[in-house]
Amino acid sequence: MFKFLIFAAATFFLYKLFINDRKKKAEVKANNTEELAKEGVLVKDPVCGTYVSKDSDIRIKEGDTVRCFCSYECRDKYLESKA
């Protein structure tokens, strides 16, 4: 019985350690994305809100504004909404 309690405590500790590590990695990734967006390296897809590279291959030009998209589906949805 004592071995089971030690095993359960160790498993719980490792689980908490793993979950906390995943949360920290997600926070770092979100902060990194925000920093790149502030610097102008990334722009937000106007349809789904995903951040994409400013040099994305999928883009359209509207006057002086260039809109970048994460996929052809998002680009097509945007063009349909403008029509």
45, 79: one domain: yes
53, 32: one domain: no
33, 55: one domain: no
State the CB neighbour count (10 A cutoff) for residue 57.
Answer: 9
Taking CA atoms, 18 is separated from 15, 57, 75, in Å, by 5, 37, 38
> What's the whole-model pTM score?
0.57
Q: What is the span of the domain harbouring residue 1?
A: 1-39
Predicted pLDDT at 74: 92
Predicted pLDDT at 30: 78
For the chain, what is the domain count? 2
Task: List pLDDT tens digits, range 21-40.
Answer: 778 888 888 787 778 777 77
With CA atoms as reference, report the closest residue to 43 among 71, 12, 82, 69. 69
Task: List pLDDT tens digits, range 51-75.
Answer: 888 887 888 988 898 899 999 999 9
Cα(17)–Cα(54) distance, integer angstroms? 37
**Comparing 14 with 59, which gets the higher pLDDT?**
59
pLDDT exceeds cutoff 90 at 18: no
